[in-house]
Chains A and B, each alone.
Chain A
Amino acid sequence: MGQLPLRMIELKSGEMASPTNDINLTAGLAVIVLIYYVAAGIMKKKFKFFLHGFSLVAIISALVEILELFTRPLTLALRLFGNILAGEILITALLGICAWGLPLPMMFFEILVACVQALVFTMLTTVYIASAVNEEEH
């Protein structure tokens, strides 16, 4: 979306940019992933999803898992958002340097970056769902 020529579509305000340039979209996607994998874990393991056992190691790992509950969606959202935003900023900066030559190769590079980021997002989602559904062996 952001690779289209900026003047092709007239907007009343703002300019054409990638939709994931906005953190609200990526945060929404990350929250969907969070709800999905927590729900999948609860549906598979019922109440044992929250409960692993009672020992000192279990308490420490529970603290780590509570931390992961927040950091996983946060990094998932920030990774996608930051990559696309960095690309847009880079293209804007290159527009200021040499508007007729430099941004074009960087736009192709951004297409590659977008594909890789989409792959990373889906792979991390599957890893999270798998780790929620799988019973860990003791």
Chain B
Amino acid sequence: MEEVKTISDLAQLGAGIAIGVGATGAGLGIGIATKGLLESIARQPEIAGKAVGFFLVGAAMAEACAIYALVIALKLSGMMG
């Protein structure tokens, strides 16, 4: 193990923590959204087409939170700008 020398080494660690915690929240969100979708389709199978559309939009919204974490992580690790 080489020792941590500069602040940018710690920034790499922070990037890892950022994307890890952010992805946890988004994963929970998409999981709950999928649970709701399956429950609603099981209750009313004729609504499936409409529900999937709403689910895709909601999943994209939940995923966007992980994407913010990704942008911050890229910023921290110096891969972007």
Contacts and interface: CB of A to CB of B under 8 A. Distances in A.
Interface of A: 23, 75, 78-79, 81-83, 85-86, 113, 116-117, 119-120, 123
Interface string B30-69: 0000000000000000000000000011001101100110
B55 to A, nearest CB: 11
B64 A83 contact: yes
Interface of B: 56-57, 60-61, 63-64, 67-68, 70-71, 74, 80-81
Given A82-B70, A85-B71, A86-B70, A75 B64 contact: yes
B60 A116 contact: yes
B56 to A, nearest CB: 5
B60 A78 contact: no
Contacts of A86: 67, 70
Nearest to B57: A120
B71 A117 contact: no
Given A116-B57, A120-B57, A83 B63 contact: yes
A79 B61 CA distance: 8
A123 B67 contact: no
Contacts of B74: 85
A17 to B, nearest CB: 13
B57 A79 contact: no
A78 B61 contact: no
A78 B70 CA distance: 10
Given A78-B67, A119-B60, 7 more contacts: A23-B81, A81-B71, A82-B64, A83-B67, A117-B60, A120-B57, A120-B60
A120 B54 CA distance: 10
20 contacts: A75-B64, A75-B68, A78-B71, A82-B64, A82-B67, A82-B68, A82-B70, A82-B71, A85-B71, A85-B74, A85-B80, A86-B67, A86-B70, A116-B56, A117-B60, A119-B56, A119-B57, A120-B57, A120-B60, A120-B61
Contacts of A113: 60
A79 B64 contact: yes
